[in-house]
Amino acid sequence: MSAQQNPAQRVAIGISFGNSYSSIAFTSGEGRAEVIANEDGDRQIPSILSYVSGEELHGTQAKAQLVRNPRNTVAYFRDFLGQEFKSIDPSPCHQSAHPVPQESTVAFNIRDTPEEKENTVTISEITTRHLKRLRNSASDYLGKSVNSAVITVPTNFSDAQKEALNKAAKEAGIEVLQFINEPVAAVLAYDARPDAKLADKIVVVADLGGTRSDIAVIASRGGIYTLLATHHDYEVSGFQLDQVLIDYFAKEFMKKNKSAGDPRENERALAKLKLESEAVKKALSIGTSAAFSVESLLNGIDFTATINRSRYELLAIKQIAAFTRLVAHAVEKAQLDPLDVSEIIVAGGNAHTPKVASALSAAFPETTKVIAPSTSPTAINPSELAVRGAAIQASLIQEFELEDIEQSTHPMVTVTPHLSHAVGVLCISGEESHGIFHPIVDAETPLPVRRSAIIATPKEGGDVLIKLAEGARHIKVTKPEPKPKEEKEKDEDDSDEDEDESEEEIREKTWKVGKILSEAALRGLQKGAKVEVQVNIGADLSVNAIFREVGGKGGVRGILQGQKGVNGSA
């Protein structure tokens, strides 16, 4: 291994590196993550390089070259890293430099020198150049040389892809402290806010990016995150939303200019259409209408038009519905019900689109909080979620030796037993023999764990029974009662007779009592007393519980044996 940074000399940042955009962020002394603007003033920096007479352009300047200089402009390349040519999907690169096979990897043929000679530049070298530009922007901003980073990657980035990215980063002078998963970075960005409360919840991160969509279902348990299911799709993407607008404006152009032809069939016109359509899409995230304006779109004809948001939403209805279905599918894949989902964090640039968020709100129960700019005034900019999480993680680990970080991220430490059922207590119900289960520790909580609950007691106090049990979440479905037939016949002008059948059933989250684990008695409670139950569960499934009256003396302690030979005291 080449020279490692001495932790004391590290200047670490967070980097999110997408196929479409990249961002850089650092964590200030006060622990706040701040996203850095580059020299162009951009916080979302297009992951694009372009060469003009040997000069390297980056970011927004390079993106503008997609019109004039597409074959010397390298874009949408992140996913090619560490892959063989035969396994990549080159379609996002139709309108820029085309990927070509190069030994076991992917490269681009570009004229990147003043001599304008065509060179074969590997994906690894392109990535290094891109990361160097990001690193320089961060160094300029911070006034010190950045030398390490936490970088976010999709959850399906392979080890080979990470290794390739690690190498490319090293070439750019960046020591990668850790790769972290994009959706987990998004959750961390929220949890690191000063007013955030630790909770046990199921969070879905629904990321609608430029070239792909990525869904992750995460069990968040006291600030520890477990991926329960992930799902990826390369059809449903921001590109598709852009295409909807491209088609709309192309048709409008043709209506107005009958003999001019289809701008989508001319490479340069299409590139202009695409850039402007993306800009219109972004404008529609804030405004209720937006103007499209391109000089000399085709045959020297200038074209301007406007579109309002509701028209756009109608045009994009299929694509947005497809994204919603992906989210529902991921929840199914995790063997959960929509009612189990506490929050959906809408991430990726297209999360700015109000309809993307509102379609999710409509598809999920009211109890699911959809967090996006249009649904929650305190939402974090969805384009910045990953990079903020990365910067926070960087600040948490920058003082550790690399070896320490590697040890902590090793399966020896990360593979952890998770509860298969919730553990809780039985409270009183109408039916004495049964009791109503109330969870204290949720299923899918990693062990060891410690949780406590405060429970009400009968009004008059006295002696109570505390049963610890496992509980299984159950979805109770109630069909609305059909109206009595007779009544309907009498009511002749009742025109919505048939609607009864389509009336929605009511779905509720309830609990089924499972295995009883233990019983404990607390005696002589005061009137209005409360009981505290503390449950410690070890990695060996041993349970150590304490039952006591709040403010009272003594209490009862109980131990359930776990599995022998497994070490894991709580």
Partner 1 sequence: MDTVQIALPLPVLPEGWAGEKDFKAIGSLSQATDRNIEPVGPHFLAHARRKRHKRTFSEDDR
Ligand X SMILES: Nc1ncnc2c1ncn2[C@@H]1O[C@H](COP(=O)(O)OP(=O)(O)OP(=O)(O)O)[C@@H](O)[C@H]1O
The binding site for ligand X (CB under 6 A) comprises: 18-21, 44, 78, 209-212, 238, 278, 281-282, 285, 348-350, 352-353, 383
Nearer CB in complex with partner 1: 24/543? 543
CB of 451 to partner 1, least distance (A): 6
Assess contact for 228 and 217: CB atoms under 8 A.
yes
Q: Is 349 in the site for Mg ion (CB under 5 A)?
A: no
Instruction: Tell which residue, 275, 277, 271, has the closest CA to residue 252.
Output: 277
For the CB of residue 284, give the shortest distance to ligand X in the complex, in Å: 7
| Angle between helix 317-333 and helix 354-363 axes, rounded to 10 deg | 50
Find out whether 539 and 448 touch, Cβ atoms under 8 Å.
yes
Of the candidates 362, 390, 389, 358, the one whose C-alpha atom is nearest the C-alpha of residue 372 is: 358
- Closer to partner 1 at the Cβ: 290 or 425? 425
H helical segments located in 297-351: 309-315, 317-333
Which range of residues in 3-11, 353-361, 503-511, 562-570 is near partner 1 by CB under 8 A?
562-570
Q: Which of 10, 132, 352, 421 binds partner 1 (CB under 8 A)?
A: 421
Q: Which does 283 bind (CB under 5 to 8 A by kind): Mg ion, partner 1, ligand X, none?
A: none
Chain residues 171-210 in contact with Mg ion, contact rule CB under 5 A: 209
Among 53, 506, 521, 527, binds partner 1 (CB under 8 A): 521
Q: Which residue has the tokens 């039952």?
A: 547
Site for partner 1 in 181-200 (CB under 8 A): 181, 184-185, 188, 191-192, 197-200
Alpha helices for 71-199 (secondary structure H): 123-142, 159-171, 182-191
Of 169-177, 238-246, 364-372, 420-428: span binding partner 1 (CB under 8 A): 420-428
Longest dimension (CA), the chain: 93
Judged by CB under 8 A, the residue of 113, 304, 407, 510 near partner 1 is 407
Nearest approach in angstroms of CB 125 to Mg ion is 22
Smallest distance, Å, CB 348 to Mg ion? 5
Cα dihedral 325, 331, 336, 340 sign: negative
Q: Residue 466, interface with partner 1 (CB under 8 A)?
A: yes
Nearest of 153, 145, 136 to residue 230 by alpha carbon: 153
* Distance, C-alpha 300 to centroid of its chain: 43
Residue 514 parent element (H or E): strand 506-525
Among the listed residues 130, 323, 298, 127, the one whose alpha carbon sits nearest the alpha carbon of residue 239: 323
Instruction: Please report, as residue ranges, which positions from 383 to 402 form the binding site for partner 1 (by CB under 8 A).
Output: 389, 392-393, 396-397
- Residue 46 or 562: the one with the smaller Cβ distance to partner 1 is 562
The residue (of 93 and 188) whose beta carbon lies closer to partner 1 is 188
Tokens of 207: 């990321």
Q: Does 3 contact partner 1 by CB under 8 A?
A: no
Which DSSP state fits 446? B
If the CB atoms of residues 107 and 419 are measured against partner 1, the closer one turns out to be 419
The contact set with Mg ion (CB under 5 A) reads 18, 209
